[in-house]
Amino acid sequence: AQSVTQLDSHVSVSEGTPVLLRCNYSSSYSPSLFWYVQHPNKGLQLLLKYTSAATLVKGINGFEAEFKKSETSFHLTKPSAHMSDAAEYFCVVSLYNNNDMRFGAGTRLTVKP
């Protein structure tokens, strides 16, 4: 069965510094991987997705993620944090079809001025 582990429950960065949110996955086959962002009391918004094409995936708002099969990782990065990036981020893995999506526990990103 597939699963996903977000290695940090909370990450704090200063505005203008790089962001790294870590995600490891477990899957017997080639998975589809996603990052979603959730602002307080809101629904989830898709940031980016990997579906077996290019291993470096670019998303919205300057975020990108790299699929590394050898490390079973799909870390989310951004070169320069903005105050509006403060939110909860979820790494998601799915197998066969996207009806069975497994969510990580989430990483709360805090951005300090």
Partner 1 sequence: DGGITQSPKYLFRKEGQNVTLSCEQNLNHDAMYWYRQDPGQGLRLIYYSQIVNDFQKGDIAEGYSVSREKKESFPLTVTSAQKNPTAFYLCASSRLNNEQFFGPGTRLTVL
Chain positions contacting partner 1, by CB under 8 A: 9, 34, 36, 41-46, 49, 90, 97-99, 101, 103-106
Quote the least distance from Cβ 36 to partner 1, whole Å: 8
Quote the least distance from Cβ 42 to partner 1, whole Å: 6
Q: Residue 18 or residue 54: which is nearer to partner 1 going by CB? A: 54
Q: Residue 15 or residue 108: which is nearer to partner 1 going by CB? A: 108
Quote the least distance from Cβ 16 to partner 1, whole Å: 28
C-alpha 102/C-alpha 81 separation (Å) is 27
**Cβ neighbourhood burial of 9 (10 Å; 0-12, 13-18, 19+):** exposed
